[in-house]
Amino acid sequence: MSNPSLLIKDLRIEDAESTSDLRIRDGRIAAIAPRLDPTDGEEIVHGAGRLALPPLIESHVHLDSALTAGQPRYNETGTLFEGIEVWGERKRELTVEDVKERAGRAIRQQAGFGIQYVRSHVDVTDPELTALRALLELREELRDTITLQLVAFPQEGILSFPDGPQLMRRAAEMGVDALGAIPHFEFTREYAVESLNLVCELAAEFDLLVDVHCDEIDDEASRGLETLATRALELGLRDRVTASHTTAMHSYNNAYVVRLMRLLTLSGINMVSNPLVNTHLQGRTDTYPKRRGVTRVKELTEAGINVSFGQDDIVDPWNPLGTGNLRDVVLNGLYVTQMMGHEQIRRSYRFITHNAARTLHLGEDYGIDVGRPASFVILDAADWQEALSWNAGLIASYREGRLIARGTPATREILF
Ligand SMILES: [Zn+2]
């Protein structure tokens, strides 16, 4: 460690009423108290009352397609399905070097916003599994600095793609962290159900997590979620399973949702919403009124079901804009789900910290507490509401006591 002992003065830790001093020793948090006096030779950093959060977590992104927008063409309709077509064309040109270079750039962008944990889906509907090989290499190279979780994602279906089941098994053997599925894209409802059964059983066999692109469509008849939750419950996978997107839930009738909520609670599964990209891609077949196309985050949260937020796409066929900054996702998510109450805003950092940590199964090492690894971020704001409103920049990102990214406080001069 470059700093055997470091004292950071005057930080607001999460939503604490007052500020604290924090001591790092040998990569761990040695003490937290309202006031700590420096020991001999200890390096001191002044936190100036700024906000400290546990490391930010990207719980849903596609690094294999990141930074490819316009290659070979732009998605002009803005639909999920044109995005899949465009990516299908770009996918033929993939090389390991190409994927590693773009994913590496995207990860460094994310690190610049305080992200230290990334769950990336990686398209395995490719007989060569090029993107997967690239991201497995990157996962190892970055291991000490950024935790990268990889989900085998069958972008073009499992039962509806040549050798789809075999490709999923190969991905499991190659060492992915989780298995995915895409039931709403399979040719038939039967294939959708079969794909979910297959993936849950494979995950149980290989002791892997599950994260399904589930019902990412405005079709109220798309009901992969009930199958996924039932398998999670019956196979005992429970909170090792995550349902991402679930945008069809926006369109389900309320009577059905009441029944579904009971099953979701029983199953213990996690949910991931990607509000920015879902508001962009969904509702595209509506005239007016136009659906928002975001899952029922407020109701799920109130029911005690774990929900986190993800960026989904960074400058690719499904999102022409974005930097990887999760603040944009939370801001949009709160507006579009109407979670604008004071307490809802105050707690909303949890969508990209604690809730996401549960989804990724980060365990007891995550969080700012004495005895835990000294991994946390300092943002240029006095509290989370201010950070959210002002798009506060990163001041410091510590990983086990080591500074892995830093910024300087923003200054503004109003010249009147
Ligand atoms: Zn996705």
Q: Over the chain, what is the mean pLDDT? A: 97
Cis upstream peptide for 54 (omega within 30°): no
Summarize the confidence of residues 85-109 as an average pLDDT: 97
Query: What pLDDT is recorded for position 333?
Result: 98
In 235-271, alpha helices (H) = 254-267
Ligand 1: distance of its center to the CA of 214 in Å?
Answer: 9
> Is 62 in a helix, a strand, or coil?
coil
CA of 230 to the centre of ligand 1 (A): 22
Whether residue 243 is predicted with pLDDT greater than 50 in this model: the reply is yes
Cross-strand bridge partners of residue 44: 7
The pLDDT of residue 100 is 98
79 has pLDDT over 90:
yes
Q: What is the pLDDT of residue 4?
A: 73
Asked whether the beta carbons of 47 and 32 are under 8 A apart, the reply is: no
User: Tokens 């019902």 sit at which residue?
Assistant: 215
Give me the residues near ligand 1 (ion), CB cutoff below 5 Å: 312
34 CA distance to ligand 1 middle (Å): 42
Residue 3 has pLDDT above 80, yes or no: no
pLDDT(376) > 70: yes
Q: At residue 86, does pLDDT exceed 80?
A: yes
pLDDT in tens, 292-347: 999 999 999 999 999 999 999 999 999 999 999 999 999 999 999 999 999 999 99
Backbone angles phi, psi at 33, to 5 degrees: -160, 160
Q: Nearest 5°: CA angle at 232, between 274 and 116?
A: 40
Please give the distance, rounded to the nearest whole angstrom, from the Cα atom of residue 121 to the centre of ligand 1: 7
Instruction: Give residue 213 CA to ligand 1 midpoint distance, Å.
Output: 6
Type of residue at 259: R
- Return the biggest CA–CA distance within the chain: 69
| CA pair distance 125, 281, nearest whole angstrom | 22
What's the whole-number mean pLDDT along residues 179-201? 98
Q: Which of 111, 144, 108, 106 is nearest to 122 (CA)?
A: 106
Examine the pLDDT at 11 and tell me if it is beyond 80: yes
Residue with tokens 């943002």: 379
Q: How far does residue 95's CA lie from ligand 1's centre (Å)?
A: 21
CA of 61 to the centre of ligand 1 (A): 6
For residues 160 and 267, what is the distance between their CA atoms, to the nearest angstrom? Answer: 27
d(CA 104, CA 98): 10
Q: How far apart are CA 348 and CA 150, in angstroms?
A: 25
Strands 402-406 and 394-399, by their bridges, are: antiparallel
Q: How does pLDDT run across 246-299, given as a tens digit for each residue?
A: 999 999 999 999 999 999 999 999 999 999 999 999 999 999 999 999 999 999
CA distance 281 to 283: 7
| Number of neighbours of residue 10 by Cβ within 10 angstroms | 17
Cis status, amide bond into 289, omega within 30 of 0: yes
pLDDT of residue 71 exceeding 50, the answer is yes
1 band by pLDDT with thresholds 50, 70 and 90: very low
Q: Does pTM top 0.95 for this prediction?
A: yes
Catalytic residue among 216, 234, 343, 386: 216
Q: Catalytic annotation on 216? A: yes
How do residues 22-65 score in pLDDT, each as one tens digit?
A: 999 999 999 999 999 999 999 999 999 999 999 999 999 999 99
- pLDDT at residue number 54: 98
